[in-house]
Structures are given as C-alpha cells and as structure tokens.
Chains A and B, each alone.
Chain A
Amino acid sequence: MEKRRVKFTFVESLIKEPIIWKLGRQFEIVTNIRRADVQADRGWVILELEGERDEVDHGLEWVEQQGVRIDPVYEDIVEG
C-alpha cells in the first residue's frame, strides 16, 4: 500500500463529472480530499490517494484519460 498526494485540475467541461467518486468506485483506491477550489468554470482538488501502487497508477491513468490534468503536490523541486 502506498499514499500519493496529487492535484487534479478540471476544465469547465469536466466540472459536473463525479470523477473522484468514480475513481474510488472503479479502482481499489481510497480518496481523501484535503484542499480544493472548484468554481463554475474551473477547479482544482488536492487529495491523497491510498492503494496498491499498480492500482493507484491505473487509477491515475484513467483520470488523465478523462481530461483531468494531474500534477504532483510537491510542485517543482528542480530549481535554477
């Protein structure tokens, strides 16, 4: 089991889609929302995912296929 912190960014066309609910239903992943800013035309959600490594990878692949942008929560570590 591993925990991964990620940030989902949604465009307007995806705002109404229950993507995080589907992620938890379709994959063996516990989703735990920590911080979010969702408005009518855009939104982001920072959440922790817990599950087997492969399952988390597959789940994130599916989320990406839906058109959601996924970024790691740590932001960029490489600096100039």
Chain B
Amino acid sequence: MSFAKNLKCRECGRVYPLDPIHVCEFCFGPLEVFYDYKAMGRAVTRDHIERGPPTMWRYAELLPCNPETAVDIGTGLTPLVRARNLGRLLGLDRLYIKNDCQNPTWSFKDRVVSVATSVAREFEFDTLACASTGNLANSVAAHAARAGMKARVFIPADLEQGKIIGSAIYSPTLVAVDGGYDEVNRLCSEVSDKYPWAFVNINMRPYYAEGSKTLGYEVCEQLGWRAPDHCIVPLASGSLYTKIYKGIKELAWLGLVDWQATRMSGAQAEGCSPIAEAWNRRSFLIKPQKPNTIAKSLAIGNPADGYYALKTMADTNGAAATVTDDEVVEGIQLLAETEGIFAETAGGVVISGLRRLVDDGYVRADEVVVAFITGAGLKTQEAVLPAIQPPLAIRATLDAFEEALEERDGVLPAARGA
C-alpha cells in the first residue's frame, strides 16, 4: 500500500487531497506529496526492501502509488560503480558513479515517468503527455505503450533525427512544434488547461517528481545502507537534485540509514546555468536564461525547482559548478576513458563539474562521493563526434597495419616472442 497522505503547498503549507493538481490555488506555490511517515516506518524495513523486486519498485511503499498496479518496465537498481581510476585522477579516495544510463530508455527519466504513469492510471486518465527535447519524450512514449495509454509528445521542430526515433518507435502522437522553448512551453500550458490528459510534469508533477527519490534510496542501499557524504548531481529544473536529497533524508527518518549530513552539490553548463548563477551571486532569486548549450537535457532556462535547489545547496553546505561546452565533451571522454561508461552531455557536465569542485576545494579527498550519471551517451553522439579519434584507415595487409600504428604511436607494440 502507499503511505501518501495528501498534497501540501511548499510555500504556504495548505493541504490538498491526492488529486491530479500541482499548484496551490491560494499562493500558486508548488504542491508536494506528504506521507504518513509513522505508519511507513512501522512497515518498511531493510529486509523488506531487500526482498523486493530488482527494480525501483522495491521502494514502492515510499512512493505515492499503489505497488500492485505500478507500471514497471524494469527501471532502477542501476549499478553503483566504484570509480577507482577516475577517483585516482581527481584525487578522491572513495568516488562512486551511479550509472543511470542503464534504465530501459537509457535515462533516469524512467524513474519519474514510471511513477507518473502509475498514478495517471489510478486517476483513470487514458492519455499521457509531455513536452521534451529527448529523454522525457522517450520515456513517456515507452511507458504509455506498456500501460496501454495514448501518448501525446510535444517536441521542438528542429530536434535531431536520433531523438525523434527514440520516441517514435513506441508510436505516440509526436507533435513537432515550430518555435523555441518559450513557444512550446506556452502551447503546452494551453493544451494542458484544455484537455483532460495526464501531463507528466504539469498536473502529475507532485507524483512524477517523487520517482527521483529512488536514486537516493538505491545509492544508500548499494553503499551498504549508508548515506553518501557528498552527491554531485546535474541541475536542470532542480527537481532531481532536491528529490535525491529528500530520498536520503527519508531513509534517515525511517531509521534505515544513519544521518550523515550529506552535502549536495550541482553542476550546470555555462550556456544554461540559472541556478549556479544565482548561487554564485549568493541569491535565492533565479534570473531566467535563454539556453544555449550542447547539454540540451539540462537546458531549462526557468527552472521550476530552482529556488528549492538553492535552499538545499545552502542547507547542506553544497556548491554549484558551471562548465563550458568544451569541458562537457572533455567530461564525457574522461568518464569513458577511465571507467568505461559512455554518458550523454549531462554526464559530461557532472564529471567536469566534479573536477572543478575538487580543484576549488569544495569536495574533500576522504568523502564518499557519488556522481550521478543520468543518461546514456548514444543519445547525444553528435556532441562528441568532433572530438573522437577517427579509426586508422588501412589496406588489408600487415605492412599497412604496422605502418599506420608506427605513424600514430611512433613505435610498434612488442611482437609475440620478442
């Protein structure tokens, strides 16, 4: 069963029933799911979780939907990898990578959409909708297919072919909107007002956002029921960042981990860094930006949870880093070359952001650090294309092979028996 009790306004505290709504009617503040933690604490134990399915739904009791009717395409319990090579290079003794590339549609969005789809079905919606430049669109299309729901997915008209295919294969109604982000935002706001659909990040948002908590739960369980000392998270809307922290806090409230005073740091690309920019001004006032970066999955110029992300950063003694687009590519390459993990551009932001935070003294060498890699690199191949080594093109002879190797490396490798 779910222990979700009601929705609560994050600004004025007004309480609402668990309905498909997302904004407080009085102050327009965002609504958040509130739980009966006392009852939850009596029902949820480490053993109970460990005996659950090998997916995010092992934490079903901590989510706002009925586990029996959950729409699960096999999301979660992704690897937490001890990154010894990258750690050595950065001077970190205990660095871990949470590799969320390994979800069914290759990004962490499966976590939030899995919850949103499950709740949408409980509310008896027959249509799932979203506006996205890639990862969210893929996930909504896949989950709607699994749930037997109709999908309406709005994308910018100039989206790359690869990203369109990642959604189109599940046969949603794909709507390519002519215009920039502002136009797509405005259109979707009007559409969501008019049609009785479950828009995953509008009327489903309070529930949808809760899916990100499972990243915090998993990391704690995978560390042997221990909270990390420091998390490095990509910042887009700020929701993922705040919910990972909420997940860690909840496990501590429930007595499943000791309170570790986990520090939460974030990273953004310079071309879209409204949260980091406010942080560097020591202000809680977000100035919206027009995104201009290759890290498109983080390109949210007016982040819905930016203010709450800044509060979490201040409360946890965290920090924010920004990186250039060149550093995004370098970060992707560094992670691939040291740990064998091919991340999308958001991952490049995290790795280069981590490097900056280490250089600036914000991350300590002895901390248990977890860097969150939220999407797979095959989705954003065009970003790294100019930077990768072309293959050695040769004729099919041993001489040609050795000539090419010698030309590139200056020496030949040791031959057998040499």
Contacts and interface: CB of A to CB of B under 8 A. Distances in A.
Interface string B124-136: 0000001111111
Contacts of B29: 35
Nearest to A73: B28
Interface residues of A, number: 20
B27 A34 contact: yes
Interface in A55-80: 69, 71-80
A37 B131 CA distance: 30
Contacts of B402: none
Interface string B273-302: 000000000000101100000001111111
Interface residues of B, number: 42
Contacts of B133: 78-80
Given A34-B28, A35-B11, A77 B301 contact: no
A37 to B, nearest CB: 8
A80 B303 contact: no
A80 B136 contact: yes
B272 to A, nearest CB: 10
Contacts of B199: 77
> Which of A37, A69, A71, A76 has the most B CB atoms < 10 Å from its CB?
A76
B237 interface: yes
A34 B297 contact: no
B189 interface: yes
A61 B134 CA distance: 33
A26 to B, nearest CB: 24
A69 B132 CA distance: 25
Nearest to B238: A75
Contacts of A71: 288, 302
A77 B188 contact: yes
A73 B301 CA distance: 13
Contacts of A69: 288
A38 to B, nearest CB: 11
Contacts of B285: 9, 37, 42, 44
B26 interface: yes
B181 interface: yes
A23 interface: no
Contacts of A34: 26-28
A25 to B, nearest CB: 24
B28 A76 contact: no
Nearest to A78: B131
B185 A78 contact: yes
A5 B186 CA distance: 12
A19 to B, nearest CB: 18
Contacts of A76: 181, 185, 237, 300-304
Interface string A42-58: 10101010000000000
B369 interface: no
Contacts of B28: 5, 34-35, 46, 48, 73
Given A35-B27, A35-B29, A72-B189, A78 B302 contact: no
Contact of B135 (A35, A74, A75, A80): A80
Nearest to A44: B285
B323 interface: no
A75 B302 contact: yes
B134 A80 contact: yes
A72 B134 contact: no
B316 interface: no
A64 to B, nearest CB: 14
A77 B136 contact: no
B296 A80 contact: yes
B298 A77 contact: no
A34 B28 CA distance: 7
Given A34-B26, A73-B28, A79 B130 contact: yes
B156 interface: yes
B225 to A, nearest CB: 31
B102 interface: no
A79 B11 contact: no
A79 B186 contact: no
B25 to A, nearest CB: 9
Contact of A78 (B109, B188, B192, B288): B188
21 contacts: A34-B26, A35-B27, A35-B29, A69-B288, A72-B185, A74-B185, A75-B302, A76-B303, A77-B188, A77-B189, A77-B192, A77-B199, A77-B202, A78-B188, A79-B133, A79-B201, A79-B237, A79-B300, A80-B134, A80-B136, A80-B236
**Pairs of residues from A and B, 4 with the lowest C-beta to C-beta distance, nearest first:** A80-B297, A75-B304, A78-B131, A79-B136
